[in-house]
Structures are given as structure tokens and as C-alpha cells.
Amino acid sequence: MTAQFTLDSGASPCLFLQGDWTLPNYDNLTRTTASVQTQVVSLDASQLTALDTAGATVLVRLLGAEKLGELTPTATGLSEERKALLLTVARAMAAQEEEPADPVWRLGDGLATLGKNVHEAWQLTLEFLSFLGLTLVTLIRVLFTPHRWRFTALIAQMHQTGLNAVPIVVLLNFLVGAVVAFLGATVLSDFGASIYTVDLVGYAFMREMGALLAAILLAGRTASAFTAQIGSMKINEELDALKVLGLDAIELLVLPRMIALLIILPLLTFLAIIAGMVGGAVVAVTTLDISVVRFIGIVQEIPLKHLLLGMSKAPFFAVMIALIGCLEGFKVGGSAQSVGEHTTSSVVQSIFVVILLDAVFALFFMEMGW
């Protein structure tokens, strides 16, 4: 049955609904009501045979959501179910039509956001310091009880975090060393000082870039692995099992990872320095006509303290990376999504802390005249 409507434009305009106001007649109803503009005060549905959401949608567009909401409770011939349908569709379409107001930026909102971010950063700092203290207390307790030393876990972590990372650390530093040498040769050749490209590469990698690049690589590679491993254990309730057995999770999971990084990162830093200078040597030999013997001779003239200063930063980087990765793992919730979120957070925090510490060390060394 087709759907129709009749408009009584008398003293009290009334809209009469007839037929099936359903989806099969939706297109026809849309066309016939498109150009109709009406102001009715009552609704008569006594001859309405069928009604669904499609027909209700047409009525909302014809009368307006607010007007239909006013007329529906007093409409003639509408069952309670159809009244409820019309009111539901009217409310839904009214909510869609309400456009959110353009947000107005206020100084107070900006200050509130800034304060919230500062508070969250402070809470993260307190959590990290608490975790650092707990780890150090556990380390001191374990040091005086040799039967609790876990060499197997330590060797496994050294293999996973150190040996497997050697290729990528060496390759990256070799390429960066070549790039630094190219840049130095391009700039210094204008002043007839191409020979100082060797000093540039040597000083850069011994003091800064060797330790920094190795730490950043481990922050992205190892911190994320620590977070994912401990987070997965928490989801699988393995950490709860350790507590039931009376075992210390810090001693079992954190200390082997932290000590492994303390041993591995200085070694990787040394390899990174060597790889960077080899990359610079390749460029110097191929483009600057500097012999390998001459390159090595210039590098030997660089004071040893610069190498030691660069290497001295590695243990601090290692502790920060290990603790941040493990702490984020313990903060994982009960879902796989939480593992991904905290893994990302651990990488970002580790890289930020490494760069921040490197800047602090650079300022300290400069003030000390080293």
C-alpha cells in the first residue's frame, strides 16, 4: 500500500497520515514532502497502516524534530509503540542536528592543561625515583648473598640485549661517521683545512655521538623489549604467580636486565666509536687522499680523556633505559592494547631521558673544563 498524507489548512491545521510509511515507500515520501512547508497543530494517524524508522525519518524532516516531539503524545490513532518510535527517531535526529559550538580558547584552559601536564610529569618522576630506590635496595641486599646471584638470567639478557644489537649499532655508527666526514670535508675544504675532518670525526664520536647513538638504539630496541616481556607476564598472571611463590619480581626480572645493560652498553659504546671512526676513515681515504696511517696518527694525538668522558656516560644511560623499560612493563594493564601503549611510552621516555642526560653531561664537562 502506498504512503500518502493530507494537509488540512483550516483554523487548526492537521496532518493526516495514510498508508504504509515504511522503507519501500521512502523514496516516494521523500520526493513528495521535499517542497512542503507546513505549520500544523495536530497529527492524525488513524488511517496509518504501517510505520518504521524510514517513515519516522521522513516525518521528522517534514515537521522538525522539536515539533514532532510536541505533536506525537496527542496524535490521534497512534499506538504507544509507534509514539515511542517517533519520539526516539526525533531525539536521535535532533542530537545529530545539534552542531557542537566552536571551542573558544581561553588563557585559563591553557594554564589548566599546562598544570595538568606538569603534575603528570612530576608523578612520573616520583614513580621512577621510587622504582630506582627499590631496585637499588634490592641490588644491595642481593650483593651480600651470592647464592641469590642469577648468572643464567644475566648471560641470557647480555646475549639478547648486547650481542644481537652489535650489527645494527656498528652499521649505523659507520654510516653516521661517513656522513659526518662528508659534511666536515665539504665545509672545511673551503678554508683549506680538510685535514681537520679527522679531528672532527674523532672528537665527535669519542665525546658524544658514539655513546648517544648506541644508547638511543638500545632505548628503542631494548626498552621496548623489556616492557613487552614484563607486560606479557603481567597479563598472563605470571607476576602474581611469583608473589604467591614468595619470589621478588625486582630480583628476578629487573636486576638481571639492568646489570646486563650496565655491562653491555659501555662495550657497545666502544664498538660504536670504532665503527664511526672507521666510517670517517673510509671517506677520508677515498675523497680527501688521507692515508690510513696518517688518519690513525691524527686520531692517536687526540687526548685519551675524551674517550673516557664518552664512555663514562654509558652506565648512566644503561640504568635509565633498563629501569624505564621495566617500570613501564609493571604498569601494563590487563589488555594487549595496554602493552602497546606502555611499550611506546617506554621508548619515548627512554630516548628523551638519554638525550636530556647527554645534554646535562655536556654542560657539566664544559663547566669543569674537560
**Do both 68 and 9 map to the same domain?**
yes
**Do both 36 and 140 map to the same domain?**
no
CATH number, position 41: 3.30.750
Within a domain: 113: no
Within a domain: 329: yes
Q: Determine the pLDDT at residue 268.
A: 92
Task: Tell me which residues of the chain have a pLDDT lower than 50.
Answer: none
pLDDT in tens, 312-370: 999 999 999 999 999 988 888 877 788 888 888 889 989 999 999 999 998 998 888 88
DSSP lists the bridge partners of residue 4 as 18
3-state secondary structure of 179: helix
**Do both 211 and 354 map to the same domain?**
yes
| Helical H segments across the chain, by residue range | 26-33, 53-63, 65-71, 80-97, 107-143, 151-161, 166-188, 197-204, 210-218, 224-235, 238-244, 249, 255-287, 292-300, 304-312, 314-330, 336-368
Nearest CA among 276, 275, 271 for reference residue 314? 271
Report how many domains make up the chain: 2
**Do both 153 and 280 map to the same domain?**
yes
Residues 77-84: contacts with CB under 8 Å, at least 24 apart: 77/44, 77/45, 77/46, 77/47, 77/48, 78/43, 78/45, 78/48, 82/45, 82/48, 82/51
Record the cell numbers describing residue 196, joined without a space.
681537520
pTM across the whole model? 0.67
The answer to whether the beta carbons of residues 110 and 120 sit under 8 Å apart is no
Domain assignment of residue 56, given as a range: 3-97
Q: Determine the pLDDT at residue 102.
A: 53
DSSP lists the bridge partners of residue 20 as 50
